[in-house]
Structure 1
């Protein structure tokens, strides 16, 4: 297993390099880069007369920018060097976690990502834990009661929830419960109230949880179906195996058979996905949910960065997410061996 882990770690390097290279190449051909956006902004300001106030002499009407100014702008954004040099310089800095500064937010990419994490962690971790804590017991109950009215009703409800888009549910909840046309029960926006710093510690917790109810409900309603049915099918597959019949023939109780024999085998597909889902929960970003509930998280940051061609943010966050994704996949493979000793990667390599 040690050899397998070392091999996977070495394979991460070309994978990460390839992802960054492809994305970097794509950004070179996408129109509307930061230089073009600045020129368009200067042109619009010139037309409205704003250039004279703060950018005197930079834009010259129909003649545009002179060559010297244009070279200065390109040098400021780093476009005065060949693409391959910029890419190699960027990758060299990324090894030291230096992702540069945002073109438009005027702060380092790492600080910018960290400032958005509270929202994304709140959405991701609550969705992650509540989904696992709800869907696994529900899936077990459905497997034990397969074909019963309970199984049919719950399957219908979770499939209906799966069919409802999260943003549509969020809008509906805001209208019904957020002070729209019906009841004013939950807050409309934000992670906490404006007077949160003035509250006591217990009231702060309650205020935070109260703000999380509607966004979390909107995000997790669609994930119930996948996790619940995966749990149910995994348990049904184990229930029908011979060792279960043998355990029942020995006179063991149903609870003993279920939780001592079936559970530890059926839970393997769910537990092995735990590392990746847990790491991903820290960086979960939902553009529509964040927009609807006025939550400034990673989803909104990524969307705005792509629109503004904020390449340091786009490439820096891509590097972070790709690296964490590769680590999560490795942890998932390792968890297979730790949970199920029958799996041996050494034999697979031979």
Structure 2
């Protein structure tokens, strides 16, 4: 087991290098980099009659060459691509993610600022999804073929078919606009700081209801059907027939014998689902409900060509994804000691 873990940890290095190298190369060919965006903003300001940075842009004469060289040096584009790549890898090896081009903050600071929103969405989505999906899947397996199974399957598939963004728009229009039961944006009210703790909890839950509902409805469909199919597969096995033949009750057979084996594919996927809930927030949901989370941060960084934020967040998320995958594989041994990695 130790050798397997060490081997997987060593494989992290080429995987991270490959992901960062491919992304860095793609960035070099994407038009409209930070220097071009800076100059475009200068042109727009001059045409609009706004002074921008002194003599950065001089009409038909373009940009002063010295000033252009200073701008390139500011963003690090005065060096060849391979030097910038090696410098970035050296920083990442020290877990230094650099500094945002446009927000004048460290990438770590930006991630920590946006993380509470993503945690709020992800944690509630994870808890509600698994809290509903697993019991529902067990109930569907026990009542397979009944009207309950057919009706719940239909409802699950309908919910799964509706995109979260479309559902979010409908929730906003009906419950936020027409009925005005819930707020339209943000995680807290403007008077949050003046509230006591009880009022803060109610206010937070009031704001989080619509976005979490939009994310949850379709997210538990896969888990519910996976749970049902896993239980049905175990129910048909010989050891279940043997347990029933010995006179054990259905409840004892279900929870003592079937439950542990059926939950193997679900439990092993818990680490990935749990971590993913924090870092794989919905960009559309965050945009729709004006929630400033990691998804919106990544999107705006790509649009503005804020390369330190793009590469820094990619590095952290890839590393977390690799660690989560390793933990998921180790969960197989924890759930079923018969599994060997030899």
Q: Does the TM-score normalized on the shorter chain lie above 0.5?
A: yes
**CA offsets 1:276-319 (integer angstroms, 9 cap, x no match):** 11112221321111111111111111111111000000000000
Q: Secondary structure at the match of 1:188?
A: coil
Tell me the CA shift for residue 55 of structure 1. Answer: 2.1
* CA–CA separation in structure 2 for the residues paired with 1:282 and 1:224: 16
Tell me the CA shift for residue 60 of structure 1. Answer: 1.3
* CA–CA separation in structure 2 for the residues paired with 1:258 and 1:207: 41
Which consecutive aligned stretches of 4+ in structure 1 deviate over 2 angstroms post-superposition? none
- Partner of residue 70 from structure 2, selected from 58, 69, 72: 72
1:231 aligns with 2:227: yes
2:17 aligns to what? 17
* CA–CA separation in structure 2 for the residues paired with 1:279 and 1:40: 39
Size of the alignment, in residue pairs?
342
1:152 aligns with 2:150: yes
**CA offsets 1:64-108 (integer angstroms, 9 cap, x no match):** 112211111111000111111111111111122211111111111
Alignment of 1:40-59 (within 5 A): 40-51=40-51, 54-59=52-57
Question: More displaced, 95-104 or 231-240?
Answer: 95-104
Contact 1:123 1:284 in 2 (8 A): no
Alignment of 1:1-350 (within 5 A): 1-51=1-51, 54-178=52-176, 180-181=177-178, 183-346=179-342
* CA–CA separation in structure 2 for the residues paired with 1:59 and 1:201: 53
* CA–CA separation in structure 1 for the residues paired with 2:77 and 2:107: 19
Q: Secondary structure at the match of 1:37?
A: helix
Contact 1:43 1:59 in 2 (8 A): yes
TM-score norm. by structure 2 comes to 0.98
- CA RMSD, Structure 1 to Structure 2 (Å): 0.9
Q: Secondary structure at the match of 2:218?
A: coil
TM-score norm. by structure 1 comes to 0.96
**CA offsets 1:239-258 (integer angstroms, 9 cap, x no match):** 00000000000000001000
Consecutive unaligned residues of structure 1, counting only runs of 5 or more, are none
* CA–CA separation in structure 2 for the residues paired with 1:343 and 1:84: 44
Contact 1:166 1:218 in 2 (8 A): yes
Tell me the CA shift for residue 22 of structure 1. Answer: 0.3
* CA–CA separation in structure 2 for the residues paired with 1:171 and 1:66: 48
Contact 2:55 2:63 in 1 (8 A): no
Contact 1:285 1:300 in 2 (8 A): no
Consecutive unaligned residues of structure 2, counting only runs of 5 or more, are none
Q: Secondary structure at the match of 1:252?
A: coil
Question: More displaced, 141-150 or 204-213?
Answer: 204-213
* CA–CA separation in structure 2 for the residues paired with 1:200 and 1:284: 32
Tell me the CA shift for residue 123 of structure 1. Answer: 0.4
Q: Secondary structure at the match of 1:15?
A: helix
**CA offsets 1:113-155 (integer angstroms, 9 cap, x no match):** 1100111000001000111111000000000000000000000
